[in-house]
Chains A and B, each alone.
Chain A
Amino acid sequence: MDRTTIDLWVGIFVAFGVAAMLGLAMKVGNLTSSKIGPTYSVTAAFENVGSLKPHAPVKSAGVVVGRVDNIVFDSKKYEAVVTIKIDKRYVFPKDTFANIYTAGLLGEQYVGLEAGGADDTLKNGDKITQTQDAIVLEKMIGQFLFSKASESKADSKTEPSTKAVDAKSGRAKSTELGDAPF
């Protein structure tokens, strides 16, 4: 078959396409970074995992040491059992503490491991016993309001709450008149 310039151009075109695909896979996607070599898996039970998802990072001292493999619900104990895969290079003591943290204020959730002091190390299939649940913001706000309410209940006998309301409405009125542009 004769070679033509069209063949050359189509070849270049397809090569560009393959290169773009490789670029997307390697540079943009997580095809390279999700591989963490040989791993061992341990489980940890949480009462609440928040919005933790499979493939979420497992970090210790801020370094990614593994990934969350899967999350299942234990219907006997009513808790979530999280299986995490940790890179074989990293060894953790048996009394390691597992927390669920949030990256930043709005970021994704990850598992944080804090090493304990035991001599024994975690092995494949072991269970992390010391865990701390994900922080649920609504729960925290609820507790805060509850504690505030109980505080103010103790105070309310000495100071009537209507005074605060009066002050507020008075201020609102003054701004309405005082800040008028004309």
Chain B
Amino acid sequence: MSDNPIKIMIKSKLLSSITQTLRGIGKRMTERIWRLGTGTRLFFLTIFYSGESFKRFHLTLREIYFTGVMSLLIIVVSAFFVGMVLALQGYNTLQKYGSSEAIGVLVALSLVRELGPVVTALLFAGRAGTAITAEIGLMKTTEQLSAMEMMAVNPIARVVAPRFWAGVISMPILATLFSMVGILGGYIVAVPLIGVDDGAFWSQMQANVDFRADIINGVIKSLVFGVACTMIALFEGFDAPPTAEGVSRATTRTVVISSLAVLALDFVLTSFMLVI
């Protein structure tokens, strides 16, 4: 009888901890859904206000320079090494089945269909996405965006839309460059280093890579990744709490969410493309 109040206390403590956990989960979920809605609204606003980024195209050009041209080095170098490693690994396996001439097909198809768009998008999220988030987050922290609004300049039209279109334009170009440079890297390993026949390398590749089914689909993929990566980076920057910690967290989230979104979208797009 005497330990009854204690029991009740323990029970109530347990109950409150459970409700607290549930409340935390619910809060997180509503927070996510809230952010998803805000992000979607920002996306449509960006599309709506993007007229100015084409009318004053030098704004977009500047951003293409910062997101696209400045990413060239990392894209080209990593494409080269990815292509070389693909050729080495592929040769090692194909040789067991006596079909080492198919190395060109292996390198080209895996680059054009998958690795080109996906690795480019991942590198792009790390190289350009973080820069966009940090820049816009800092603009917000230093109240440049509010200052623009005070001067009747729409920050979405002036800051967000040019960066969005720059990302969407840059990504397919970077992805095709990645594929081409990767294939050249694979060629350098396969033909002069390993000694696969030069003609067989290219002719088997041409016989098995379809322009519409493989190359165009790869470009479509990279276009979708471009929209996703850029939009996530822009939204995270736009939504970042105006503190140093907030900007740093937003930058981290950009990389994490972009990478996950790219990989998930890749699966969805591939399944659609294989069905059609």
Chain A residue nearest to B172 (CB atoms) is: A17
Query: Are A20 and B180 in touch, CB under 8 angstroms?
Result: yes
A9, A21, A24, A106: which has the most chain B beta carbons within 10 Å?
A24
User: Does A27 reach chain B (CB closer than 8 Å)?
Assistant: yes
Whether the Cβ atoms of B172 and A29 lie closer than 8 Å is no
A20 to chain B, nearest CB (A): 4
Indicate whether A17 sits within 8 Å of B65 (C-beta atoms), given known contacts A24-B180, A28-B108, A28-B206: no
- Which parts of B45-68 form the interface with A (CB within 8 Å)? 58, 61-62, 64-65, 68
Task: Tell me if A180 counts as interface (CB < 8 A to partner B).
Answer: no
**Residue-by-residue, is A46-66 near B (CB-CB < 8 Å gives 1, otherwise 0)?**
000000000001000000000
Interface residues on B, range: 20 to 34
- B:160-211 near A, CB below 8 Å: 170, 172-174, 176-177, 179-181, 183, 202, 205-211
Q: Is A1's CB under 8 angstroms from B58's CB?
A: yes
A6 touches B61 (CB 8 A): yes
In this assembly, does B72 line the interface, its C-beta being within 8 Å of a C-beta of chain A?
yes
B84 close to chain A: CB less than 8 A: no
Across-interface contacts of A177 in B (CB, < 8 A): none
In the complex, A14→B60 CA distance in Å? 13
Task: Give the distance in Å from the alpha carbon of A19 to the alpha carbon of B173 in the complex.
Answer: 10
Q: Tell yes or no: A23 within 8 A of B by CB.
A: yes
Say whether B112 faces chain A, with CB atoms less than 8 Å apart: yes
Cross-chain contact A30 with B62 (CB below 8 angstroms): no
17 A-B pairs with CB atoms under 8 Å apart are A7-B58, A7-B61, A12-B69, A13-B64, A16-B72, A20-B173, A28-B108, A28-B183, A28-B205, A28-B209, A29-B206, A30-B206, A30-B208, A30-B209, A31-B211, A34-B211, A106-B97
Q: Chain B interface (Cβ within 8 Å of chain A)? A: 58, 61-62, 64-65, 68-69, 72, 97, 99, 108, 112, 170, 172-174, 176-177, 179-181, 183, 202, 205-211, 214-215, 219
Question: Which of A's residues lie within 8 Å of B, judged by CB?
Answer: 1, 4, 6-7, 9-10, 12-14, 16-17, 19-21, 23-25, 27-34, 57, 104, 106
